[in-house]
Structure 1
Amino acid sequence: MCRTAPHCQILERRFGPGFLNYQSLPEDPGASLVVVSDDGVSDEIRGAQHLAELSQQYRVTATCDSRLCSRLEHSFPDARFVDVPRRIRGILNPVYDGRWCDPTLASHLPAHNDPLVAEADYVAFGQNLTVNRFVGILSRRDTVGYLLQAPNRAVLRLGAE
């Protein structure tokens, strides 16, 4: 659970109230929100159900697995997506550069994300969106489709291309 995990405590110390660690999304229209994907591809797809709603209130940037970037960009044109190489369980992210003292955090936030996070009003892990859904701040949208069909693709494929 993120609330007490070392990588979340590091972000709380660094960003203070701008890091949303199992907290309600603030009512701050037009603020920038960086959603850091911290789980697997299927969790990113499930969490994507909230991006359209979030984009109505915030300027959203979300990190995502590179295999999902084009699909998410097509489905949510009002959000911005930045790919992050996937961490393989037990192996450090290949872009780990030692900036963070926690290897999990280094895997979720490689150096090319630093400017996004530095400029953001709020930073939250994808898990925080699920918490906000359960407490009623975000609507439950997992009963309808939210990923659009890519114009050049018949099926969603997540393997190497």
Structure 2
Amino acid sequence: MSGSTPRERAGLALLAAVAAVTAAFYALEWASASGREAARATQQAAERATLLSVFSNEEFRNRVALGVGNAWRSGLATDELSGEEMLVELETYAQQAGFSDVQITLLEPSGGEGRVTLQPVTISAAFDWGSMIALLEALESTERSYAVQSIDVVGEEGAQQLTLVVAVPLLREIGSP
């Protein structure tokens, strides 16, 4: 560097300083990215350990099994007896509620592509407030997931007819059509 001028040496020193600052910036960025990646890996490992401890917990597995059992029990498995079973159950509830001359009809099921299908049922009887409230309370207290879709009362005072549409989920087992 003996043949260079002070101006050239200052320019080279400036270039060296810029290169050093750039190298330091990239080193800092790399360290920051590495720290974030290490923190993310630590967090994922902690989440995996938590999930493993939860899934290996016997009490948790029992609660999940109970929940699955309740879901299956709340609906009817689709088979040749499910419609008849539902009709008999609903007729029993209606008679216990105080309705006489009850007519119960299965309607076309809806939502047939998935594993759960809603089976609507029409309950028709002479209207009575007490009986209707008792029937709704019976449907609410059952283990099945009966859902009231509509309530219609038609006719003149004293000769009114109640039409109640109730749906219950039908569950298809894996492999059944």
- With the shorter chain as reference, the TM-score category is under 0.3
Which of these two proteins has the greater Rg computed from alpha carbons?
A: 2
TM-score, normalising length: structure 1? 0.24
Larger proportion of helix: 2
Structure with larger RCO (C-alpha < 8 A, sep 6+): 1
Larger proportion of strand: 2
